[in-house]
Amino acid sequence: MFKYVGDISIISHHIIKEFLENKEVAIDATLGNGYDTDFLSNTFKKVYSFEIQKSACDGYIKRKSDNVTIINDSHHLLKQYVDEPVDCIMYNLGFLPGGDKNITTKCETSFTSIKEGLELLSHGGIMTICLYRGHEEGKEEENIILPYLGLLPKSKFGVMYHSFFNRSEESPILIVVEKK
């Protein structure tokens, strides 16, 4: 087992913890089993967590802390639920590990959410996107989201792309966007 070259979502936690100065409000765009929400809840004063699967929301509500609001709706509607600047937005795209692989994030809604999320992100804020290319929808997400992020103006956003160098072209990637 590697300590660093392993789980990209753990790497994203370290980046957020280390490099983000303001830790007031965060969004977990994909609650799933709640590991990212646990991290955000321990790190930020307030957390909004989106998830389309009611069973996942119900499962997490039992153990959620008071600073977490669970929203059983799609993350592309985030502006309907969050009307304050946020310091951090996490995307862990794809399907729920151990769950129904047909219920996965979709390129159109992921794209809309990321685009609107960048508007909501406060100056100095960080967005992390874990993208899994080993399934069809993940490849679509890669084809739509990456070109968009690559064209963000560098005067306003820093975009970094993390990938495994000695694994297949389908291995997961982590993209970090920092807003100036």
Question: Using CB under 6 A as the criterion, which residues of the chain lie in contact with ligand SAM when the complex forms?
Answer: 30, 32-36, 50-53, 56, 74-76, 92, 94-96, 103-105, 109
Give the residue with the Cβ less far from ligand SAM, 88 or 124.
88
CB of 57 to ligand SAM, least distance (A): 10
51 or 178: CB nearest ligand SAM: 51
Q: Is there a contact between 61 and 99 (Cβ–Cβ < 8 Å)?
A: no
The span from the CA of 172 to the CA of 131, in Å, is 6
CB of 51 to ligand SAM, least distance (A): 5
Shorter beta-carbon distance to ligand SAM: residue 101 or 156: 101
Pick the closer one to ligand SAM by CB: 41 or 104: 104
Do 161 and 173 form a contact (C-beta atoms < 8 A)?
yes
> Least distance (Å) from ligand SAM to the CB of residue 71?
8
Position closest to ligand SAM via CB: 32
Q: Read out DSSP for 109-149?
A: HHHHHHHHHHHHEEEEEEEEEEE--SSHHHHHHHHHHHHHH
- Report the relative pairing of strands 173-179 and 157-163 from DSSP bridges: antiparallel
The helix (H) or strand (E) run that includes residue 110 is helix 107-120
How many residues are recorded in the chain? 180
147 closest CA partner among 125, 135, 165, 131: 131
- In the block, which residue shows the tokens 């692989």? 101
Nearer to ligand SAM, 30 or 41 (CB): 30
Closest contact distance (angstroms) between CB of 72 and ligand SAM is 9
Write down the least CB distance from residue 116 to ligand SAM, Å: 12
